[in-house]
Amino acid sequence: MNHAVLSFACFYLLEALFLDSVFASEVKSHSLGVDTISLNGKWQLLNSNSSVSLSAEVPGCVHTALQRQGFISDPYYRFNDLAYRWISLDNWTYTTSFSVPTHVREKEKAVLVFEGVDTISTISLNGVTIGKTDNMFRRYDFEVTGLLKDKENILQVWIMSAVTYASQKSNAHTEYRVPPDCPPPVQKGECHVNFIRKAQSSFSWDWGPSFPTLGIWKGVHLEIFNTLRVLSFTTVPKYDSAHSSWNVDVELFLDVVVASKGLVLLSIPLLHSEEFQLSLTPGQSRKSFVFQVNQSVSLWWPFGHGEQPLYDLKMDMNLEGGETFNAQRKVAFRTVELIQEPIPSSPGLSFYFRINGKPIFLKGSNWIPVHAFQDQVTTDMITILLQSAQKANMNALRVWGGGVYEQGIFYSLCDMYGIMVSLSLEILHLRHDLNAIDLVICLPLCQIWQDFMFACALYPTEKDFIQTVREEVTQQVRRLKSHPSVVIWSGNNENEAAIATDWFNITVAERPLYVKDYVKLYVENIRDIVLQEDSTRPFLVSSPTNGVESEKEGWVAQDPYDPHYGDTHYYSYYKDCWDWTAFPRTRFASEYGFQSWPSLSTLSKVSVSSDWDFSSNFSSHRQHHEDGNQQMLKQAELHYILPNSTDPVQKYRDTIYITQVMQAQCVKIQTEFYRRSRSDIVEGKGHTMGTLYWQLNDIWQGPSWSSVEFGGKWKMLHYWATDFYSPILSMGVEDKGDLLMYAVSDSHSEQHNVKAKVELYNWSSFDAVCSFESNVATIKAGGSTLVFQKPISALLTQCGNCTRRSCIVTFHLSSPEGQMISPHNHIFLSSPRHAEGLQQPNITFTVKDAGIMQNFVVTLYCSFPAVYVWLDVDDIPGDFNVNGFLMLSKNSSVTFGAWRPTTAEEITANLHITSLRDVY
| Closer residue to ligand BMA, CB minimum distance, 494 or 567 | 494
Calpha distance 256→230 (Å, rounded): 9
Q: What's the order of all strands across the beta sheet hosting 539-540?
A: 539-540, 486-490, 447-451, 396-399, 362-367, 690-693, 589-592, 568-570
Q: Backbone phi, then psi, for 5, in 5-degree steps?
A: -60, -45
| DSSP category for residue 45 | E
Calpha distance 732→827 (Å, rounded): 6
Calpha distance 520→71 (Å, rounded): 45
For residues 327 to 366, the per-residue mask of contacts with ligand BMA, x marking binding by CB under 6 A and - elsewhere, is ----------------------------------------
Judged by CB under 6 A, the stretch of 83-91, 150-158, 199-207, 827-835 that binds ligand BMA is 199-207
The strand ranges marked E within 227-331 are 228-240, 245-256, 260-268, 272-280, 286-293, 311-319, 324-331
Site for ligand BMA contains 493 (CB under 6 A)? yes
Judged by CB under 6 A, the stretch of 100-108, 203-211, 441-449, 803-811 that binds ligand BMA is 203-211
User: Which of 472, 591, 611, 879 touches ligand BMA by CB under 6 A?
Assistant: 591
For residues 681 to 710, the per-residue mask of contacts with ligand BMA, x marking binding by CB under 6 A and - elsewhere, is -------------x----------x-----
Calpha distance 784→742 (Å, rounded): 6
Least distance (Å) between residue 211 CB and ligand BMA: 16
Calpha distance 232→227 (Å, rounded): 16
Least distance (Å) between residue 820 CB and ligand BMA: 37
Least distance (Å) between residue 205 CB and ligand BMA: 6
- Separate counts of helices (H) and strands (E) for the chain: 20, 52
Is 591 catalytic? The answer is yes
Site for ligand BMA contains 454 (CB under 6 A)? no
Calpha distance 567→559 (Å, rounded): 11
Calpha distance 773→758 (Å, rounded): 6
| DSSP category for residue 513 | H
Least distance (Å) between residue 455 CB and ligand BMA: 6
| Closer residue to ligand BMA, CB minimum distance, 206 or 415 | 206
Judged by CB under 6 A, the stretch of 186-194, 202-210, 558-566, 788-796 that binds ligand BMA is 202-210
Pick from 596, 416, 567: nearest CA to 491: 567
For residues 556 to 585, the per-residue mask of contacts with ligand BMA, x marking binding by CB under 6 A and - elsewhere, is -------------x----------------
Judged by CB under 6 A, the stretch of 204-212, 327-335, 598-606, 893-901 that binds ligand BMA is 204-212
| Closer residue to ligand BMA, CB minimum distance, 240 or 627 | 627
Distances (CA, A) of 141 to 22, 110, 111: 29, 10, 6
| Closer residue to ligand BMA, CB minimum distance, 183 or 897 | 183
| Closer residue to ligand BMA, CB minimum distance, 183 or 237 | 183
Beta carbons within 10 angstroms of residue 269's beta carbon: 10
Whether the CA torsion 483, 485, 489, 490 is positive or negative: it is negative
Judged by CB under 6 A, the stretch of 138-146, 175-183, 201-209, 850-858 that binds ligand BMA is 201-209
Q: Helices (DSSP H) in 770-896: which residue ranges?
A: 792-798
Site for ligand BMA contains 206 (CB under 6 A)? yes
For residues 399 to 438, the per-residue mask of contacts with ligand BMA, x marking binding by CB under 6 A and - elsewhere, is ---x------------------------------------
In a 3-state reduction of DSSP, which class is residue 75?
Answer: coil
Catalytic entry in 494, 496, 709, 759: 494
Query: What residues are paired with 289 via a beta bridge?
Result: 250
**Length of the chain, please?**
920
User: Which of 81, 494, 723, 918 touches ligand BMA by CB under 6 A?
Assistant: 494
Is 773 catalytic? The answer is no
Pick from 195, 202, 204, 172: nearest CA to 459: 195
Least distance (Å) between residue 572 CB and ligand BMA: 12
Least distance (Å) between residue 571 CB and ligand BMA: 6
Judged by CB under 6 A, the stretch of 76-84, 205-213, 457-465, 667-675 that binds ligand BMA is 205-213
| DSSP category for residue 84 | T
| Closer residue to ligand BMA, CB minimum distance, 494 or 746 | 494
Least distance (Å) between residue 699 CB and ligand BMA: 10
Pick from 416, 365, 367: nearest CA to 393: 365
| Closer residue to ligand BMA, CB minimum distance, 397 or 441 | 397
Least distance (Å) between residue 400 CB and ligand BMA: 6
Least distance (Å) between residue 660 CB and ligand BMA: 17
Least distance (Å) between residue 5 CB and ligand BMA: 36
Site for ligand BMA in 63-92 (CB under 6 A): none
Least distance (Å) between residue 671 CB and ligand BMA: 16
Calpha distance 322→748 (Å, rounded): 53
# binding residues, ligand BMA (CB under 6 A): 12
| Closer residue to ligand BMA, CB minimum distance, 455 or 838 | 455
Judged by CB under 6 A, the stretch of 54-62, 135-143, 200-208, 483-491 that binds ligand BMA is 200-208
CA atoms within 13 A on the CB side of 549: 23
CB 381 within 8 A of CB 370: yes
Catalytic entry in 591, 672, 709, 759: 591
Burial class (CB in 10 A: 0-12, 13-18, 19+), 579: exposed
| Closer residue to ligand BMA, CB minimum distance, 206 or 759 | 206
Q: How would you write 759-794 as a 3-class SS string?
A: EEEECCCCCEEEEEECCCEEECCCEEEEEEEEEHHH
Least distance (Å) between residue 597 CB and ligand BMA: 15
End-to-end CA distance of the chain, in Å? 39
| Closer residue to ligand BMA, CB minimum distance, 375 or 591 | 591
User: Which of 27, 39, 399, 456 touches ligand BMA by CB under 6 A?
Assistant: 456
Calpha distance 893→905 (Å, rounded): 17
Calpha distance 530→508 (Å, rounded): 31
Binding site for ligand BMA (CB under 6 A): 205-207, 402, 455-456, 493-494, 569, 591, 694, 705
Residues belonging to the active site: 494, 591
